[in-house]
Amino acid sequence: MTLSLITETEREQLLANGRDRAVDQAVDPLPVVRLFTPDAHATWLLASLDPADEDTVYGLCDVGIGMPALGTVKLSELESIVGPHKCPVMRDLYFRATRTLSEYTRLAHLNGSIMD
């Protein structure tokens, strides 16, 4: 697995959350990493990484159409995305989660997009 979108430290935390999630679906962690497209209004708040394949991440996905939703996506697919001006998906270097994933989701549904 490539680590261009996440750091090794983030990967380890995502995997720990993924192991917890595999045992108990009710886990509500803080998101670990925020990915975004600088030229397409898409954002992903990632909370866990599937330990079975180490490519499938779970979190809040907002592709910029006003319908943010919890779901899974492959890191390998995110790495292949480019926006309309050919900008790739990037990691927010300054993101620090201030609320749980469920709270980000609740606010995103109210606002039609991920806030923060």
Total domain count, the chain? 1
Q: Tell me which residue range forms the domain holding 76.
A: 8-111
pLDDT in tens, 67-108: 999 999 999 999 999 888 999 999 999 999 999 999 999 999
Residue 3 lies in a domain: no
In a domain, 65, yes or no: yes
Nearest to 79 by CA among 69, 71, 68, 91: 91
Q: How many angstroms separate the CA atoms of 84 and 70, rounded?
A: 24
Q: Is residue 116 part of a domain?
A: no
Q: Is residue 2 part of a domain?
A: no
Q: Is residue 35 part of a domain?
A: yes
Q: How confident is the model at residue 12 (pLDDT cuts 50, 70, 90)?
A: very high
> If you search the block for the tokens 């394949």, which residue do you land on?
53
Total-model pTM:
0.91
Distance CA 50, CA 104 (A): 21
Note whether residue 41 is domain-resident.
yes
Q: Which backbone phi and psi does 18 adopt, to 5 degrees? A: -65, -40
For tokens 């292949």, name the residue: 80
29 CB-side CA count, 13 A: 23
pLDDT class of 3 with cuts at 50, 70, 90: low
